[in-house]
């Protein structure tokens, strides 16, 4: 019987070439000065284009931002017509790149289903429908090179975001939801261990109201559903059980590359005293593990603070 990995996990490979800067960010041709100025002014990074992708940028800024290029047709003798058609071609190129990107967009890590046909069809339907609603946020045309560029945007969260569309699909279809939900048991520590941790946490001035998990030593990537397990595979955090309202509005967590940014991101969710843990391993590229000791700490802190149900979690990536 054929088994297929659902199109869930990022394939984090990027095309080598001049499209990427020294730190992996996608760079536009220097010809498009206005476009680069617009990105800088709005503090945004390109998620991708015809030559590459930057998955982390999409989650950090909660925006999928793609560009496309179009070229003037010499057969069009009217300069205005050449410009207009080049801009249109740039938009279409960007839309195609987004569609290809979203087909492999991460929802959750390495879940397998028999055949995988139903899940794959749902994901393709979501992509095909959603690309029609992308927003063109920037267009420019270089008359000397007769080349146009278009930047298009899709919000990752919010009522009209791509994530919300897939969360609706997830909740509306029992088969799809079952495939996305882990069947691993929830973590239940021994009462004696809970009491030990309670004594330790009682020394805190106030209870923990959020979680920062340091995953800088793991091969970990952001996804629409990132989960946390014990080393034995017991579930500590499964956003598939978080309310759809929270997932739509905020997603399953914040993604940063420093602890300072993580604290600031959680502060925007009302968190003032986050618990800081270090991931001890990873089940795959979107599911993390913590040690048994830290599992008890997280379980006990959440029992009192209830922050996991509100997805008040920040992941720090390398």
* Angular region, 113: left φ>0, alpha ψ -120 to 50, beta rest: beta
Q: What is the mean pLDDT of the chain?
A: 78
Q: Which residue has the higher pLDDT, 152 or 169?
A: 152
Q: Exposed, middle or buried by CB within 10 Å (0-12, 13-18, 19+), for 96?
A: middle
Instruction: Write out pLDDT tens, residues 65-101.
Output: 999 999 888 888 888 998 999 999 999 888 888 887 7
Higher pLDDT: 283 or 149? It is 149
pLDDT at 39: 92
Minimum mean pLDDT range among 23-32, 56-65, 231-240, 295-304: 23-32
Neighbours of 314 (CB within 10 A): 25
Closest CA to 236 of 286, 282, 288: 288
Q: Is 136 left (phi over 0), alpha (psi -120 to 50) or beta?
A: beta
Residue 111 binned pLDDT confidence (cut-offs 50, 70, 90):
very low
111 within 8 A of 8, measured Cβ to Cβ: yes
pTM for this predicted structure: 0.70
CA atoms of 192 and 174, how far apart (whole Å): 38
Mean pLDDT of 264-291: 92
| Tokens encoding 128 | 């095909």
What is the structure's pLDDT at 113?
Answer: 38
For CA atoms 85, 88, 89, 90, the dihedral sign is positive
Cα-based angle 309, 56, 263 (whole degrees, multiple of 5): 50
What the block records as the tokens of 194 is 């809970």
CB–CB of 166/107 below 8 Å?
yes
Identify the residue with better confidence: 209 or 52: 209
Which pLDDT does position 152 carry in this prediction?
93
- pLDDT exceeding 70 applies to what percent of the chain? 77
In this structure, what token pair is assigned to residue 147?
Answer: 């080349």
- Which residues does 141 contact at the CB level (< 8 Å), separation at least 6? 83, 86, 87, 147, 148, 149
DSSP bridge pairs for 228: 237, 288
Query: Residue 260's pLDDT is what?
Result: 95
Per-residue pLDDT band for 316 (boundaries 50, 70, 90) equals: very high
At 96, is the secondary structure helix, strand, or coil? helix
Where do the H-state alpha helices sit in 160-207? 162-172, 174-180, 191-201
Q: How many whole angstroms separate alpha carbon 175 and alpha carbon 312?
A: 28
Indicate whether 273 pLDDT > 80. Answer: yes
Eight-class DSSP state of 189: -
Q: Which residue has the tokens 């999928």?
A: 64
Give CA separation, 221 vs 7, 38, 214, in Å: 15, 28, 12
- Calpha distance 130→151 (Å, rounded): 16
- Per-residue pLDDT of 12-67, as tens digits, reads 222 222 333 444 578 888 788 899 999 999 999 998 887 677 878 888 888 889 99
Higher per-residue confidence, 68 vs 284: 68
């Amino acid at each position: 019987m054929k088994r297929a990995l659902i199109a869930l996990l990022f394939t984090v490979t990027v095309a080598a070439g001049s499209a990427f800067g020294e730190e992996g960010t996608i760079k536009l041709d220097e010809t498009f000065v206005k476009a680069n100025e617009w990105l800088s002014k709005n503090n945004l990074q390109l998620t991708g284009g015809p030559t590459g992708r930057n998955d982390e940028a999409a989650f950090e800024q909660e925006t999928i931002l793609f560009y496309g290029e179009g070229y003037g047709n010499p057969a069009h003798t009217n300069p205005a017509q050449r410009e207009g058609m080049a801009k249109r071609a740039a938009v279409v190129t960007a839309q195609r790149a987004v569609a290809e990107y979203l087909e492999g967009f991460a929802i959750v890590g390495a879940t397998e289903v028999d055949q995988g046909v139903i899940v794959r069809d749902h994901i393709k339907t979501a992509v095909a429908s959603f690309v029609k609603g992308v927003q063109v946020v920037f267009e420019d045309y270089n008359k000397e090179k007769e080349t146009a560029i278009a930047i298009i945007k899709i919000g990752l969260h919010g009522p009209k975001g791509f994530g919300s569309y897939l969360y609706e699909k997830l909740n509306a279809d029992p088969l799809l939801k079952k495939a996305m939900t882990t069947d691993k048991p929830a973590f239940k520590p021994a009462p004696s261990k809970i009491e030990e941790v309670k004594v330790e946490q009682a020394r805190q001035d106030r209870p923990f109201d959020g979680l920062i998990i340091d995953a800088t030593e793991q091969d970990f990537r952001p996804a629409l559903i990132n989960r946390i397990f014990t080393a034995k595979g017991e579930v500590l955090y499964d956003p598939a059980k978080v309310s759809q309202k929270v997932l739509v509005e905020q997603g399953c967590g914040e993604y940063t590359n420093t602890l300072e940014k993580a604290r600031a991101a959680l502060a925007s969710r009302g968190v003032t005293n986050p618990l800081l843990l270090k991931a001890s391993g990873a089940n795959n590229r979107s599911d993390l593990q913590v040690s048994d000791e830290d599992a008890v700490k997280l379980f006990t802190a959440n029992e009192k603070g209830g922050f996991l149900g509100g997805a008040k979690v920040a992941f720090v990536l390398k």
